[in-house]
Each structure stands twice: as C-alpha cells, then as structure tokens.
A and B are shown apart, each in its own frame.
Chain A
Amino acid sequence: MNGRKELDELLRTMPRVWRGRRPQANEGAAIPTGFQALDRALPEEGWPFPALMEIAVPAWGIGELQLLLPAMRYVQESGKRLAWIAPPYLPYAPALADAGIDLNRLLLLDKLSNDKDIWWSAEKLLRSTACGMVLAWPRKLSPFAVLRRLQLAATEGRCLGILLLTALPADTPAALRLRLEAGEQGLWVHILKARGMPLVNAVLIGGSDDRAPN
C-alpha cells in the first residue's frame, strides 16, 4: 500500500512519464459523482472539471437527475450556484429541497423561445464565476462550433456544463459523453468518450426499481 503511494508520487513528479489513464493537467480537479462505482470508472475519478459533458437520455425521467444530484449538492456546498436552462418539465421544488438542493441558489431559465437563447445563456452562465454547474436541455442537436464555444466557456469560467440530450451529435469537443439506459437493476451509465481512458464502458448505479418504498 505504502509502496504504491510512493510509486504514484514518483510518477507524478516525473514529467517525462506519460500515464495513459489519467489526464495529467486536471488531476484532482474532478467533482465526485457521488457514486463509487462511477468514480472508479471515470478516468478523472469524478465528473471532469472544468469541462463540458453530454448525457444522452433516451426518455426524460429514467433517473438523469438522480445521477447528477450528488454533484449538484457538492457544487452548492462549495459555494457556487446552479443553473438549469430550459428543463423539459417543471422542476418540483419540494422534491429538490428534499434532495438537499438549496433552492435559493438554483437559477432556472424558463420560457426560452429558441435554441439560440439556450446557447447564449449557457455560454454566459458557464463563463460566470458565480456558477459552478450549468445544466441545459437543448431541443435540437447543436453544431460543433457551438459546443466548442461552450467547452471554452466552461473552461474559462471554471464550471461544469452538462448538456442533456435525447440524441448525441456525431462530433463533439465535450470532455465526457455518457449515454443513460434504464435497466431492471438500476441505471446503466455508458461511457462513450472520456479524456484519458475509462476503465469500463458501462456502470450500473442505483438500486433496483423497488428501492423506492420505505
């Protein structure tokens, strides 16, 4: 155990040693996902930060928010704000409060007339230093140039931008892209792309469908 730590330290301090699995620049800068299995699977041991990520959700309501709730709490606890841009439904305040989200520090942008407004406000919020995490639900597939802008904005504003989409564009500059799938046992998280090398390509999180009643 001790020896491994020393070896890690040695490798870390030797700039000439390239370590494939973890991107070196961002070491230790990830946001814990709150799910051990997922943390272990992701090359950065958490959600990449600061970065843009994409999550493909085949149908709203399969658990996409549950997946992100621990990270949201983490961001709020670190003193930053959350922003949700154009969610598909009404976020239900009592449930959010129950989940430990500070509603005062959750900005909701609603009634956006088009995707252009969504991109525009996403970029503004990502660039803002006050925001730690921005969730956006764009209606259409977004062009590469837009995604690139958002990725840059997230990096410059030190923010985690998450796009929740029903289908993923072919090409993306995002640091991480996932696909969710509802399974009998819980939520399957497929890791489609990650900076560094993911260990596994799918993780099951959450209990079974019957975990709920208590």
Chain B
Amino acid sequence: MALQTLPTAPAIPLSSPAEQISATPQPVPATLWLCCYLPHLPLEVFKLEDDRPAAVWEDSGGRSLISAVTPAAAAFGIHPGLPTNAALALCADLRLYRRDQPMEHEALETLAETGLGFTPWISLDYPAAVLLEIRASLSLFGGLDALMQRLRTELEDQGHQVLLAAAPMPFPAWLMASSGLERTVENPAALRSGLGDLAIVRLPIERDTVKRLAKAGLHTLRDLWRLPRDGLARRYGLALLRQLDRAAGREKDLPRLFRTPPVFEAHRELAAETESLAYLRPVCAALLEDLAAFLRRHDAATDRLELDLSHFRRPATRLELKLRYASRDPERISMLLNERLERTPLPAAVTALSLRCDSLQPYRAHETDLFAADTPGALDWEALLEQLQQRLGHDALRFLGASADHRPENAWNWNASPIGIAIGKERRPLWLLPKPRPCDPTRYRLLPERERIESGWWDGAPIRRDYRVAVSPEGVRAWMYRELDGNGGWYLHGLFA
C-alpha cells in the first residue's frame, strides 16, 4: 500500500489582526470601590432567629433611645430614635438589646476576611460598611455583576443583609450604599449626576447647616451642585464644600487598609455528641480546610496548632500539634492530626471542636536545592519523621551521639552532634546494656583481651573496672567487667553483636 502524502497544514496565525489591535495597552483603569453597607448590623450581631419584635437601644446623652428595630417591631410603630420606654409602651413583648459596638466591629472584621477572598484591598474606615477595591478582580470573577452576586450570596450566607454600591472613590460608594441606592457609577465624571438625588442629610455635616440649607430650599445634592462654589463656601463654610468634593470623587481619598490579625480560630458544634472518630474526622477536615484557606490568604504557613475537643461538663481535651516544619497543606496536617486523634483517649463524648492557630510564618514553597544531591527527598524524610513522632511519641525518635568520656556509659548520648571523638583504640561492643547486669563469669570463656577503665573521679561518678571480652556457651561475645572497688562483682555491660 502506497503511503498517502498529507498536504502540509497551513500555518495557523497566532492571532488575527483584529485581536492584536484590541490588545493595545489601555490606560490604567481608575479604582473601583465596592461598598457593602450593612443596614441591620446592630441587630444582626445578636443573631435573632425568630420573628418576635426586637430592638437595639443605645445611650444617647443620658437617654436610652432605640437605634435599630426588626420588621416585626416596626409593625408596632417602633422606629429608631424612640425612647425605650415609649417603645415598651407600644409593644410589651419587645425584646431589647443594648447596642454592642465591639461585636459589630468583630462582625465587620469577619466580613472583611470574607472580602479578602475577592481583593486584598479592604477598608473598614466607614461605619457599618466594608469597602473593597475590586477593579483588578473584575476579570477574575467575570465582571462586576457576577462579583457582586457572589459577594452578596456569601454575606447573606453569613446572615447579613447588604446594600451594594460601586463608585470610583470610597466615599461616594459608601454614600450611595448607606442611602439605600444600589448603584454602580464607574465613570468619575458621572458621579455628580449619579448622586444628584441624594439627600443632603446623608452628608456628614453639622445638623445646623442641613437645617439652614433646608430653609433655603436645598434638599438634594443636585440642588447644591447647581449653586456657585464660592457663594456656597461663603454662606455655609468650607466643610460643606469639602464634603461635596469628596462625594463627587474630586478629593483624593485613601482609606486605611484592613489588616487581619494573624490568628485563626474556628469552632464547630457537632450535631450530636460522639466519640467515634469516623464522625470527628470530617469535621476536623472541614476545620483544616478553613485553616488552609486562611493561611493561603495570608501567604503564611503554620508549625503549631491546637485542637480543643469540648465535652459536656468536663474540661476540654486539648491536642497540641507541633509540626517539624511549617506547612499549610491541609492533607498533611490532617494526616498528622488523625494520627494524634487515633491515639488520644477521649474521656467522654465530644460536643464541639475548635481549632486555633496563632503561629504564622511566611509561606515558603518547597525548597528544592539543586545541589543538595546527598539528601534525596529530604522533605519527605522530615514529613516521615513527623508522622512517626506524632504516633510514637516525642522521645521515640532518637539519633545517637558520641561524647568524649572514658566511662562507657558516658561516652554516648542522645541527639548530640555526633562528632566522632573516639578515645583510645580499644574495641567497643555494638550493643550496650542500659544498666550493667550482674553475671556469672564462670559461664563464659574469657578471652585474653583486657582493658582497665579508671575515670570520672572529678564528677562524683568514678569507675574502676577491668573489662574483659568473653564468649558464652551460645556463642555470644560479651563485654564484661569486674568491679575493682566495692563488692568486686562481675557485670555484663555489652555485646559484640
């Protein structure tokens, strides 16, 4: 059969000319700040799960005033600003919570952690809001709408209602979101018209100024923007003008970036008390996945973590896991943790698990040294040692060392740097008995080799011994000595294995 010659395939152009044109560098796009405003944050931190009327109050100049209400409470006519007495008069069943700002801040920090999954630029400078700079993340998440949708879902999963608005500067974004306007204004020039119908009250300016503006018939920002700037400044002060400029995105606004404190804490309640590892393992795995995600966000690794297994009416069992080298690989940590779990007796059923990790180290990718040819799989080796250590206990893994001492029992040690200081040239047995054992020399055939060791008078453990090599009837070559002081007895000290 004749081979059919194939026509040579035409060279495929790498990219069409049209694509090349579209790939011309574009000017660096301006920032785009997404504001997640949490209108019900003061209530949400109390994690109310039913629909009964509830309200949050706070001290305001000696009076306790309602500051946030649930829809059920609002149905009774309770609204923010109402004194608590009046609110209780309207609804006797009203549950009142004192506003807890530290908890709100904590909640915001948790949300900011979530936000770190979208962008590294996060700010908590504005009240009840998380601001994210998302320009660089848009293409990754498939556009602004997709990103907003995802962020909203994630925040709602955590039990928060959000209002989202985006603008080229943080302040206008926050203004829109906090006013309930869910808008996106990408072009700085469009900010003025985008914010035009916003009430002046929303600007952080003095109440008096707002009242004076209202008397002059000025209610919205559009009204102000129609007025000449110099006149506005003269009548109402520079502060108003500055706030207007901020709203229009004319003023440079660099918010402080949110930095998470490098501690990971996670807690999981179990659906039912259990002692079975089969149920604990998946929960542990989930916790470790969270930890791994946390470590990835911080570009860190850890070498120490604590797992608390809570029991009912008993102190928790604490497992402290120390790694031989820092890691953020959930599989590796999980393997070690399981090893420990299997060997930890549980005094009672476990009700909850909490994982804590505060020892973060900069993450370094696996160090592979091209020239360290004498350590094949050094990292595997470390990992293996670690696994052995977790299961067998800390003191099961040993490395021997030799030290310069004439006394046989002092001439070795654990874990020291084994610099081969051999004293003398005499033969030493490969097996040493941890403690010399009294023996009967008549059972052995003594060989002519003999050695006297007399040493150690300086540190209170002196020895004076005559060492002999002897062969037992079984053919065991023994190293034994006769005590020259004391009872003069014979002792077996080693075996020439």
Which A residues lie at the B interface, using CB under 8 A?
58-66, 79-81, 87-99, 102-104, 106-112, 117, 120-121, 124-125, 128-131, 181-183, 209-210, 212-213
Contact between B449 and A213 (Cβ–Cβ < 8 Å)? yes
Counting CB contacts under 8 A, is B67 at the interface?
no
- In the assembled complex, the CB of A137 is this many whole angstroms from the nearest CB of chain B, namely 11
Contact flag A129-B471 (CB < 8 Å), given A92-B494, A96-B430: no
Contact between B393 and A111 (Cβ–Cβ < 8 Å)? yes
User: What residue of chain A has the Cβ atom nearest to residue B405's Cβ?
Assistant: A94
Contact flag A88-B431 (CB < 8 Å), given A60-B497, A98-B422, A124-B388: yes
- In the assembled complex, the CB of B201 is this many whole angstroms from the nearest CB of chain A, namely 70
Contact between B475 and A181 (Cβ–Cβ < 8 Å)? yes
CA distance A129 to B381 in the complex (A): 8
CA distance A121 to B385 in the complex (A): 10
- In the assembled complex, the CB of B55 is this many whole angstroms from the nearest CB of chain A, namely 61
Contact between A109 and B449 (Cβ–Cβ < 8 Å)? no
Of A94, A98, A99, A130, most buried by chain B (CB within 10 Å of CB) is: A94
Within B393-440, the residues touching A (CB, 8 Å) are 393, 395-402, 408, 411-413, 418, 420, 422, 427-434
User: What residue of chain B has the Cβ atom nearest to residue A186's Cβ?
Assistant: B475
- In the assembled complex, the CB of B88 is this many whole angstroms from the nearest CB of chain A, namely 66
Residue in contact with B412 in the complex, picked from A94, A117, A129, CB distance below 8 Å: A94
Of A66, A110, A181, most buried by chain B (CB within 10 Å of CB) is: A110
Contact between A92 and B431 (Cβ–Cβ < 8 Å)? yes
CA distance A87 to B393 in the complex (A): 17
Contact between A104 and B418 (Cβ–Cβ < 8 Å)? yes
Contact between A63 and B477 (Cβ–Cβ < 8 Å)? yes
User: Which residues of B sit under 8 angstroms from A98, Cβ to Cβ?
Assistant: 420, 422, 428
User: Which residues of A sit under 8 angstroms from B431, Cβ to Cβ?
Assistant: 60-61, 65, 87-92
User: Which residues of B sit under 8 angstroms from A95, Cβ to Cβ?
Assistant: 427-430
CA distance A146 to B388 in the complex (A): 18
Could you tell me the dominant secondary structure of chain A's interface residues? mixed
User: Which residues of B sit under 8 angstroms from A106, Cβ to Cβ?
Assistant: 399-400
Contact flag A128-B381 (CB < 8 Å), given A106-B400, A182-B474: yes
User: What residue of chain A has the Cβ atom nearest to residue B412's Cβ?
Assistant: A93
User: Which residues of B sit under 8 angstroms from A90, Cβ to Cβ?
Assistant: 412, 431-434
CA distance A64 to B430 in the complex (A): 10
Contact between A182 and B475 (Cβ–Cβ < 8 Å)? yes
Contact between A110 and B396 (Cβ–Cβ < 8 Å)? yes
User: Which residues of B sit under 8 angstroms from A91, Cβ to Cβ?
Assistant: 400, 430-432
CA distance A183 to B477 in the complex (A): 12
Residue in contact with B430 in the complex, picked from A92, A131, A181, A183, CB distance below 8 Å: A92
User: Which residues of B sit under 8 angstroms from A213, Cβ to Cβ?
Assistant: 447-449
Contact between A212 and B400 (Cβ–Cβ < 8 Å)? no
Contact flag A92-B395 (CB < 8 Å), given A62-B497, A97-B422, A128-B380: no
Contact between B388 and A93 (Cβ–Cβ < 8 Å)? no
User: Which residues of B sit under 8 angstroms from A108, Cβ to Cβ?
Assistant: 397-400
Stretch at the interface among B29-37, B151-159, B370-378: B370-378
CA distance A200 to B474 in the complex (A): 24
User: Which residues of B sit under 8 angstroms from A110, Cβ to Cβ?
Assistant: 395-396, 398
User: Which residues of A sit under 8 angstroms from B396, Cβ to Cβ?
Assistant: 109-112
- In the assembled complex, the CB of B479 is this many whole angstroms from the nearest CB of chain A, namely 9
Counting CB contacts under 8 A, is B326 at the interface?
no
User: What residue of chain B has the Cβ atom nearest to residue A187's Cβ?
Assistant: B475
Residue in contact with A99 in the complex, picked from B430, B472, B477, CB distance below 8 Å: B430
Contact between A104 and B399 (Cβ–Cβ < 8 Å)? yes
CA distance A213 to B447 in the complex (A): 9
Residue in contact with B381 in the complex, picked from A65, A81, A104, CB distance below 8 Å: A81
Contact flag A107-B399 (CB < 8 Å), given A65-B430, A92-B494, A129-B377: yes
CA distance A118 to B374 in the complex (A): 28
Counting CB contacts under 8 A, is B384 at the interface?
yes
CA distance A42 to B99 in the complex (A): 84
User: What residue of chain A has the Cβ atom nearest to residue B339's Cβ?
Assistant: A120
User: Which residues of B sit under 8 angstroms from A120, Cβ to Cβ?
Assistant: 391
- In the assembled complex, the CB of B155 is this many whole angstroms from the nearest CB of chain A, namely 45
Residue in contact with A93 in the complex, picked from B374, B402, B497, CB distance below 8 Å: B402
Known: A108-B399, A213-B449. 13 other contacts (CB 8 A): A61-B431, A62-B474, A65-B431, A90-B434, A91-B400, A92-B430, A93-B401, A93-B402, A94-B411, A112-B396, A124-B387, A182-B475, A210-B448
Contact between B420 and A97 (Cβ–Cβ < 8 Å)? yes
Contact between A109 and B380 (Cβ–Cβ < 8 Å)? no
User: Which residues of B sit under 8 angstroms from A209, Cβ to Cβ?
Assistant: 447, 471, 477
User: Which residues of B sit under 8 angstroms from A62, Cβ to Cβ?
Assistant: 474-477, 497
CA distance A97 to B428 in the complex (A): 10
User: What residue of chain B has the Cβ atom nearest to residue A129's Cβ?
Assistant: B377
User: What residue of chain A has the Cβ atom nearest to residue B478's Cβ?
Assistant: A61
A-B contact pairs, 23 of them (CB 8 A): A58-B474, A60-B495, A62-B497, A79-B375, A87-B431, A89-B494, A90-B412, A92-B412, A93-B401, A96-B400, A97-B402, A97-B418, A98-B428, A103-B399, A103-B418, A104-B399, A109-B388, A110-B396, A111-B393, A112-B396, A117-B391, A117-B392, A213-B448
CA distance A96 to B397 in the complex (A): 18
Of B381, B431, B496, most buried by chain A (CB within 10 Å of CB) is: B431
Residue in contact with A64 in the complex, picked from B402, B469, B497, CB distance below 8 Å: B497
User: Which residues of B sit under 8 angstroms from A117, Cβ to Cβ?
Assistant: 391-392
User: Which residues of B sit under 8 angstroms from A129, Cβ to Cβ?
Assistant: 376-377, 380
